[in-house]
Amino acid sequence: MSAMNENIPWELLVRYAEGECDAQETAALSRRIEAEPTVAAALAEVLLQAVLVRDDAQAHPEQPAVAENKPRWRTTVVLGTMAAGVALLLSLIWLLQNGGERDILTVTQVDGSVRWAGAGGEVRDTLATGSTLPGGSLETVSDDATLVVAFADGTSLTLLGRTVATISDEGQKTVHLRSGSVSADVRPQHPQRPLLTHTPTALLEVLGTRFEVDSDEANTRLAVNEGRVRLTRLMDGRSAEVPAQHEAVASLSGAEMPVMRRREPEVLWRSDFSTGPNGTQGRWLPAGGEKAPRIAAEPVFVPKSSRGPVTIHRVGLTLPWQDRANIQVRPDSRVRLRGHATTSATLEVMLACMKTTGGYAGNWFQQRGISAGEWQMELPVSAFRHWHAQAKNAPQEPLELRQMAIYTIGTDAGLEVESVEVLGAK
């Protein structure tokens, strides 16, 4: 099929065919197979020749056949390995026919503005439910964006809000979470090939569980709903086993990394902007004169929305708030907002929520008019709807509040937010 080439790792290919490569060698070879068609073709040839050797040895056990002008390999090949080799051979043929990329993900839900970028430079700003992807970089671009993708074994990942992650599966599922929030429902994995989640500060090893992870450049927060996750802090190698209904934070601060039982969610909560911009998106303004510390809206371009490409001026909050417990909103809860505006405008408020047992629960919207000057509003959770009141359904059960966005669309109203509260029933 292919001529001898000094750049082709024949010995490594032979050892792979016989099942003698370790995980590191297998991963390295997988990368070469995807990047170099000549190596993929050589492995296909090795596997084909090995199958011929096995079949001839079974027919003529006294005279095992070895192809001339090819690297020699051992003739005692395990039948199970050969069966796997045939399957891999078929997949290699498929890879060669399809540009070297194998689809590993299926999009099961998509809301808001999302983006996919492949290893070959292809970029898609539109993803449809049911479409398949060969891994690559996935990004939820807007606050109201959610993307749910599933592997063939049923393992699913939910990217929420503004999240950037690179996903691959070269015999072992790997997620590189650059920033943002991912919720995962991981089916049982091979004991030697756990799902790996890398963040800027930590490594998570998962054999099968449900968990949520939030990450930025300095902190990784892990909360486990079911099963167990091993968390390793990269700066010093400190590790911890985090069981169900527990959480831990890996921080660059070098502080202790205790595993704590998940705290009961807060149902009454108020923001505190006096401590700085941590956990916020927008421009933090310290107290001055008669004004309290506040967050000023900043412009964000959203290339895809229900209204087409738009520019929004937004204030965002990422929750749990500054290492506190989760915040729970109930159907009879209320959200109270206070702030300032320079012009009248329509204010949009979005609540991004997870189910209390883990998993995405939806983005919920409500809109109100505000006037120039000081403004205040109180929004019942029962009045929030999916997609800007276009749907009739409202939250029917307690939900965990993970992100909040307060913004105007197309209008710079000089929006400033001074406080956000979650209140109980009247």
Least confident range of 162-171, 276-285, 290-299, 316-325: 316-325
CA contacts within 13 A on the Cβ side of 316 = 19
Same domain, 182 and 296: no
Same domain, 209 and 323: no
Same domain, 299 and 229: no
173 confidence band (pLDDT: 50, 70, 90)? very high
Same domain, 133 and 248: yes
Same domain, 281 and 254: no
Residue 3: inside a domain? no
Q: What is the per-residue pLDDT across 230-274, written as a single tens digit (0 to 9) for each?
A: 999 988 888 999 999 999 988 887 778 889 998 888 888 999 898
Q: What is the per-residue pLDDT across 180-214, written as a single tens digit (0 to 9) for each?
A: 889 999 999 998 999 999 999 999 999 888 998 98
Q: Is the pLDDT of residue 357 over 70?
A: yes
Residue 4: inside a domain? no
Same domain, 204 and 129: yes
Same domain, 214 and 303: no
Residue 22: inside a domain? yes
Question: pLDDT value at position 105?
Answer: 93
Residue 1: inside a domain? no
Same domain, 50 and 17: yes
Q: Is the pLDDT of residue 304 over 60?
A: yes
Least confident range of 40-49, 113-122, 126-135: 40-49
Same domain, 283 and 359: yes
Question: pLDDT value at position 308?
Answer: 73
Question: pLDDT value at position 65?
Answer: 43
Number of domains observed in the structure of the chain:
3
Mean predicted confidence (pLDDT) in 155-172: 90
Residue 335: give the domain boundaries: 269-423
Same domain, 240 and 273: no
69 confidence band (pLDDT: 50, 70, 90)? very low
pTM above 0.85, yes or no: no
Tell me which of 208, 228, 261 is where a domain ends.
Answer: 261
Tell me which of 261, 277, 301 is where a domain ends.
Answer: 261
Q: Is the pLDDT of residue 398 over 60?
A: yes
Same domain, 273 and 418: yes
Tell me which of 261, 296, 321 is where a domain ends.
Answer: 261
Same domain, 327 and 415: yes
12 confidence band (pLDDT: 50, 70, 90)? confident
Question: pLDDT value at position 80?
Answer: 39
